[in-house]
Amino acid sequence: MTAPPDIVQVALPLPLLQVFSYRVPPEWREAVRPGCRVLVPFGRRHLTGVVVPELPPDPLPSPLKPILDVLDDTPALTDELLRLTRWMADYYVCGWGEVIRAALPPGLEIESRRRLYPGHPPAEPPGERAAAVLRFVAEHPGTTIRRLRQELRFASYALLHRLVARGWLQLEESLEAPRVQIKKEQHVRFAPAYRTPAAQEAVLEKLRGARQRALVTALQALRLEGVAEPTRAELLARADASPATLRRLVELGVLELVEKEVIRSPLEAEPVPKAAPVTFHPEQQAALDRITEAIEARRFETFLLHGVTGSGKTEVYIAALKRVRAQGRTGIILVPEIALTPQTVRRFRAHFGDEVAVLHSRMSDGERYDTWRQLRAGRYPIVIGPRSAVLAPLENLGLIVVDEEHERSYKQFDPAPRYHARDVAVYRAYLNGAVCVLGSATPSLESYLNARSGKYTLLEMRRRAPAVGHTPARLPSVRLVDLRHTRLVNGNPLAPPLARAIAQRLERGEQVILLQNRRGFAPVLECAECGWSPHCPHCSVTLTYHKVQHQLRCHYCGYATRHPGTCRQCGAAALEPLGIGTQRVEEALRALFPEARVLRMDLDTTRGRRAHHRLLDRFARGEADILLGTQMVAKGLDFPRVTLVGVVNADTGLLLPDFRADEHTFQLLMQVAGRAGRADRPGEVLLQTRNPDHRVFRYLLRHDYAGLARELLAERHQLGYPPYARLAVLECSGPDEARVAELARSWTEHFQQVCHQHAGGHLIDTLGPTPALHERLKGRYRYHVLVKVPRRTGAPPLQPLLRQALETFPPLPRAYRLTLDIDPAGL
Ligand code: ADP
Ligand code: ZN
Ligand code: ZN
């Protein structure tokens, strides 16, 4: 396909499904290529978009606006990333430009801002509000509209518009440089005539001031140490000289200044550790051999590496990556949350040293930009990062690893693209003829089914690796603490058996991890006497309590019922909202064990950029006895002195109104249990529960993932949930609740009509609209429509129908929005 050279298609970072045509003025014809960023006019604004390889529409819109600037010499996106992002836009039914924005580092856009300046003085006296606006602009000429409206909340767009129309205010649009720039630093070196030692000696003889001589000798000394061109600051500090002395030497032509780019890297300061060699155990070797075979054949293949915690999965990733590097190919390692997995990064750096880059959102914008540019230039062949790293600009990919593939953090929730990094990883591997390894001790049911059906290759490791210098670590023993028969005194959340176990560890000088899971906290009721919770009769999920209406509701199908008042199972009037915070647990610990050193790890205590690191390092160094926290404490940590893991309320996760509640709870509990007894000391896990007969605990006690997976899959099949169905959630949001509900209803009807026109449309189910779980967020009401289609032959593909329904739906009123979430993580 060849496009006319004077027209290009541009993807813009907007929630719009189409791309836009622009004219290319002759002076840009050479420079403009697919993947290049361009500055274009759009409406009354300017936007930074990316040229995409699409044919122009027929007929062309007219008049065509010209592109104003080409911002890249080398395309920011490779052809491969253009293909990948295009696929994501289709699959997730969102704007191509929105996906591209996620693939580029933030802060590079040239932004246009509208600024206000004083105009003519008013002839007649203005109204009170108008006068206040004019006064503000006179005091702050060039203010942005946003800033003005922050200060003067009554300043509506209509009012500003009137003032501009009368000429009392002037509106100017200005383009502002990107927020993130390449950082440069000045370095000092000898001018060409003084590069030989003889010339330097000669000039030292001639130089008058002692300070000038000191500076020249300092530069000589640094050269001898191998620093030929120190930074300005470095040299001045070494010579204890002033900027004036340096300036003088530059004027005399002895020294010269050169500007060099500074690479801002979060890794620079950290020393590279040494790798300890391991001899693979048979299961490990078998897994590696299968993966290696696909790598050597340069064949696309996806593996599910199902291995218990500590079975040596990370060692397998490292060995596979070595094969790929030996071929000159590159690799991406995805981890759920990089701040929680510093040990993983260290281990990869121990083997691959400076080949490893990290890329994540806790880095500064400058660090992200520099790392991204280095990756784009091929400087690093390996990148480790959370979900967004799946879009890193590596070429010649041979391997993508998704560690802990079942983790929810791989799914982006907001904003679009609402992608699942695991699924994107598989597709990207396919585009590159690469291998994708999904690793987990408790795979998602999606991946597990794919492995059982032969779409992925299943590799299993059932035993823990023999840790170096220790006897083989065994899996910890798991015990339940039945809270139904334990009266918790004064709301103390720790029952006697757990308190006793903690006391024992403290006496022995061992460490304890306590988990208080609050993930996705929802207003769910639980009977304090018997542990019963109200469930939806149709959907197998818990009902949520809506205080105002005193109702219980299902967020899947909309079923609603009155608050039952008493427990249906035991009759007690003891239905209470579930879930207490980590702070309450901390208070209880301090009261019970005043001498124990407790570290609390939750959203409040981990705000800083390296706060996680610091907390975990302190615990690793033995500066605390108890690490108490939310599900953060369950992730990838390896502390040999931890012999007890306690879960304060193991039921919390089970009672979330989510069809994956059991799956997620099992995964979390298995993972946190894996933290106990990693080295030579046996580990113990205590779970406090009011539902000791629950199937999740039954399988957990036996470490039986496969058994639970079988049971859950059968149930999903029967109810028509993933992985046997594909789900999508349409969210309608806006400021007025009745209007939002009405729009959601009419969209549902519209969508049903679209489905009707297509054969197989009858297989598509729509449920709702229902108010969202947190129905009002930031002053906006949100309603959901759940769309469900079975995944079997003959069923229509869902995305084209959703796209068509969105494209043909009448324009929305201002401030109302429709957004789609394909394969939602929860509702
Ligand atoms: P996983 O990723 O499955 O949790 P790791 O790869 O982190 O497991 O291995 C757990 C521990 O065992 C690590 O300290 C690792 O270095 C060590 N280890 C892994 N494989 C072996 C082996 N074959 N021999 C000795 N130690 C090993
Ligand atoms: Zn009860
Ligand atoms: Zn329901």
Residue 94 is assigned to a ligand binding site: no
By C-alpha distance, which of 255, 261, 215 is closest to 235?
Answer: 215
Q: What is the pLDDT of residues 230-267, one digit of tens each?
A: 999 899 998 888 999 999 999 999 999 999 888 877 76
Query: Which ligand is closest in space to the CA of residue 306?
Result: 1
CA of 535 to the centre of ligand 3 (A): 8
Helix, strand and coil content of the chain, in percent to the nearest 5, comes to: 35, 20, 40
For a ligand 1 pocket test, name from 314, 672, 678 the mutation site with the most ligand atoms within 8 angstroms of its C-beta.
314
Q: Whose CA is nearest to atom 10 of ligand 1?
A: 310
pLDDT(678) > 60? no
CA triple 368-372-378, angle to 5 deg: 150
Mean pLDDT of all residues in 152-169: 88
Contacts of 737 (CB under 8 A, 6+ apart): 776, 781
Residue 679 pLDDT exceeds 60: no
Q: Write the Ramachandran bin of 347: left for phi over 0, alpha for psi from -120 to 50, otherwise beta.
A: alpha
- When computed from its CA atoms, the radius of gyration of the chain, rounded to whole angstroms, is 31
Nearest ligand to residue 282 Cα: 1
Q: Once rounded to an integer, what is the mean pLDDT over residues 372-389?
A: 95
What's the whole-number mean pLDDT along residues 187-205?
Answer: 90
Structure tokens at 86: 């295009």
SS3 for 58?
A: coil
What pLDDT is recorded for position 341?
73
Q: Is 539 marked as binding a ligand?
A: yes
Rounded Cα gap, residues 474 and 23, in angstroms: 67
- Expressed in angstroms and rounded, the spacing between residue 565 Cα and the centre of ligand 2 is 11
| The predicted structure's pLDDT at residue 470 | 42
Residue 570, annotated ligand binder? Answer: yes
Retrieve residue 103's tokens.
Answer: 């693939």
Residue 494 phi, psi dihedral angles, 5° rounding: -105, 115
Q: Is the CB of 85 under 6 A from ligand 1?
A: no
Centre a 10 Å sphere on the Cβ of residue 376 and count the other Cβ atoms it contains. Answer: 22
Q: What are residue 688's DSSP bridge partners?
A: 481
- The answer to whether the CB of 310 is under 6 A from ligand 1 is yes
**Is pLDDT at 389 greater than 80 in this prediction?**
yes
Residue 585 near residue 516 (C-beta atoms within 8 A): yes
Is the pLDDT at 426 greater than 80? The verdict is: yes
Angle between helices 197-206 and 210-224 (to 10 degrees): 160
Residue 327's pLDDT is what? 98
CA-based nearest residue to 727, from 826, 821, 823: 823
Q: With a 6 A CB cut-off, is 344 part of the ligand 1 pocket? A: no
Looking at the predicted structure, is the pLDDT value of residue 518 above 70? no
Q: State the Cα–Cα distance between residues 169 and 726, nearest whole angstrom.
A: 54
CB 281 near ligand 1, within 6 Å = yes
Find residue 356's DSSP bridge partners: 382
Question: Is this model's pTM higher than 0.90 or not?
Answer: no
**50: number of Cβ within 10 Å:** 28
59, 161, 621 from 628: Cα distances, Å: 63, 55, 16
Give the C-alpha separation, 456 to 83, whole Å.
23
Q: Name the percent of the chain lying above pLDDT 70.
A: 94
pLDDT at 152: 87
Is 36 labelled a binding residue?
Answer: no
Contacts of residue 808, defined as CB under 8 A and 6 or more positions apart, other chains included, come to 750, 754
Tell how far the Cα of 481 is from the centroid of ligand 2, in angstroms: 18
Distance 463 CA to ligand 3 centre (A): 40
Q: Which of the four pLDDT bands, split at 50, 70 and 90, describes residue 309?
A: confident
pLDDT at 632: 79
Backbone angles phi, psi at 450, to 5 degrees: -60, -35
Examine the pLDDT at 388 and tell me if it is beyond 50. yes
In short, whether 280's Cβ falls inside 6 Å of ligand 1 is yes
> From the centroid of its chain, how far is CA 495?
36
Residue 471: predicted pLDDT: 41
**Confidence bin at 774 (pLDDT 50/70/90):** low
pLDDT tens-place string over residues 802-816: 999 999 999 999 889
- Find out whether 767 and 788 touch, Cβ atoms under 8 Å: yes
Q: Determine contact, residues 152/175, Cβ cutoff 8 Å.
A: no
- What ligand is nearest to the CA atom of residue 460? 1
Q: How far apart are CA 523 and CA 555, in angstroms?
A: 12
755 marked among binding-site residues: no
The owner of tokens 């999920």 is 541
- Residue 469's pLDDT band, with cuts at 50, 70 and 90, is very low
Region 656-662: mean pLDDT is 88
Model-level ipTM above the cut of 0.90: yes
Ligand 1 touching residue 284 (CB < 6 A): yes
Distance 533 CA to ligand 2 centre (A): 8
Q: Give the C-alpha separation, 536 to 767, whole Å.
A: 14
Q: Which atom of ligand 1 is nearest to the CA of 467?
A: 26
- Give the number of the atom of ligand 1 that is nearest the alpha carbon of residue 309: 4
Calculate the average pLDDT of the chain: 88
